[in-house]
Amino acid sequence: MDAPAGDNGGITTTFRRVFALERDVLVLSVAMFAFSLGFQMTSRYVPRYMSVLGSGAVAIGLFGTFGNLIGAVYPYPGGAVSDRIGSRVALTLFGLASTAGFVIWLFADAFGTVVVPPIGTTVDLLGRELVLGWLEPASIPVAIFLGLLFAQAWKSFGLGATFAIVKQAVEPDRLATGFASTETFRRTAFLLGPLLAAAILTLFAFETGFRIVLAVAAAFGLGATLAQHVLYDASEDRLGKSFEGVSTVLGDLRAMPAELRPLLAADTLIRFSNGMVYVFFVIVVTEFLAVGARVPVVGALSPDAYFGVLLAIEMFVALAIMVPVSRLSRRIGLKPVVALGFAVYAVFPVALIYAPPNAAALALLFAFSGVRFAGLPAHKALIVGPAKAGASGRVTGSYYLVRNVVVIPSAAIGGAIYAASPKTAFVGASAIGIVGVALFLVAGREFDAAIAR
């Protein structure tokens, strides 16, 4: 795209050319930053919020599984809706929904709770006694689950629309740069969101502080929604066809390259293991270990505030090493890099549950956790690499569909185990992850560039 008259060589033009920030992609990137900031400020703390509201491990596990279900189900219909009504309208609706989700979480007390009875409770069913319940009474705050239905709308429903906007706005030979610009904004929010939450939680007790965090997230969401609706140019939106049927999905699954099957099996085991305990990371840091910190100038940090700092440390390491490790993978191959990321995923749960209640030790542990992101670019290359020309999208979609569907029940299973023994849940999760790593090391295939030619 030619530069506007009088702006040749200007800083703004250079910046836009380097990062492919055409107007629509810039608008999308800013909106993505705002929503990612809001979601990262809130979502990792929701299990702690549930605990404060009286929920136990089973309810928190069910929340994690509900999130997995939404993450697996939302993207496909979200993309279909975007194709039918256009990206601008779709993202506006999804943005308003996400904002509403943060507001619902803010007023969670007003929605009440549903209590699932504990083991030993019996009911009479057609003259027969039936034992109901879990390992503990599960007090489930309705608003938390209802809010998640809305809060995750922009992130998951909007996935197809965001891809469509980049494709429409950026020339074909600059697609990778366009996607890189949006991803940079998103990952930066992953770093800043927890820090902002930590700053607020330093000033207020958790329940009050987290409600302020939710209010700030809602404000970010509303502002981003209005900005993208006003600034996004919908003239190039293309309306597509509706879903052609389940047979299309089944056909794509059958056509998945054989080289991907060991990777998919290993990846699914590792993600399942992580999913078993992911929602309990905040509970372990703030309640099980109850580790705070003292920071120069800032002063004492509560465990809740320190958890936000730990998340920021994790993402800082991820951002710092992702590009260098990606370059290293060109020399040593993709498989060793992916295996490193898988190994960190697998080992982290057992390392966390047995970590000493020491701030420095947890900082080092979360920095280690950030290394898992180093394998993401190589992992994506292994997924899409074996695909035939013109089929990479279907291969990627099929891969993530299988993985995400299998992982759905992981948090509920982890929650049930955690209710009986937190250490058993975390050790069991790491054991499953290690099996996945071993499977990948034995059966995983290195990507041969000749396959894709």
Same domain, 219 and 291: no
Last residue in a domain, options 215, 234, 253: 234
Q: Which of 125-139, 364-378, 387-401 has the highest mean pLDDT?
A: 364-378
At 286, the pLDDT band (50, 70, 90 cuts) reads: very high
Q: Which two tokens stand for residue 121?
A: 């409770």
Residue 13 within any structural domain of the chain? no
Among 289, 314, 313, smallest CA distance to 302 is for: 289
Please give the model's pTM, rounded to 2 decimal places.
0.81
At 90, the pLDDT band (50, 70, 90 cuts) reads: confident
The per-residue DSSP string of 177-238 comes to HHHHHHHHHHHHHHHHHHHHHHHHHHHS-HHHHHHHHHHHHHHHHHHHHHHHHHH--GGG--
Q: Which two tokens stand for residue 326?
A: 């990606």
Last residue in a domain, options 184, 204, 234: 234
Q: pLDDT tens for residues 323-355? A: 787 777 778 877 888 899 999 999 999 999 999
Residue 10 within any structural domain of the chain? no
Q: Which two tokens stand for residue 385?
A: 């690499």
Same domain, 228 and 327: no
In this predicted structure, what is the pLDDT of residue 35? 82
The per-residue DSSP string of 7-32 comes to -TT-HHHHHHHHHT--HHHHHHHHHH
Among 84, 74, 94, 102, smallest CA distance to 32 is for: 94
Lowest mean pLDDT, pick from 27-36, 72-81, 181-190, 386-395: 386-395
For residue 275, the domain's CATH number is 1.20.1250.20
Q: Which two tokens stand for residue 359?
A: 């701030």
| Average pLDDT of the chain, as a whole number | 78
Looking up tokens 């929602």 gives: 279
Alpha helices for 54-174 (secondary structure H): 57-73, 75-85, 87-106, 142-151, 159-169
Whether 297 and 180 have beta carbons less than 8 Å apart is answered as no
In this predicted structure, what is the pLDDT of residue 437? 95
Residue 5 within any structural domain of the chain? no
Last residue in a domain, options 214, 234, 254: 234
Residue 12 within any structural domain of the chain? no
Residue 177 within any structural domain of the chain? yes
Same domain, 369 and 438: yes
Share of the chain above pLDDT 70, in %: 68
Q: What are phi and psi of 358, to 5 degrees?
A: -135, 130
Alpha helices for 107-153 (secondary structure H): 142-151
- The parent domain of residue 431 ranges over 244-453
Eight-state DSSP code of residue 284: I
Looking up tokens 């200007």 gives: 10
Number of domains in the chain: 2
Residue 11 within any structural domain of the chain? no
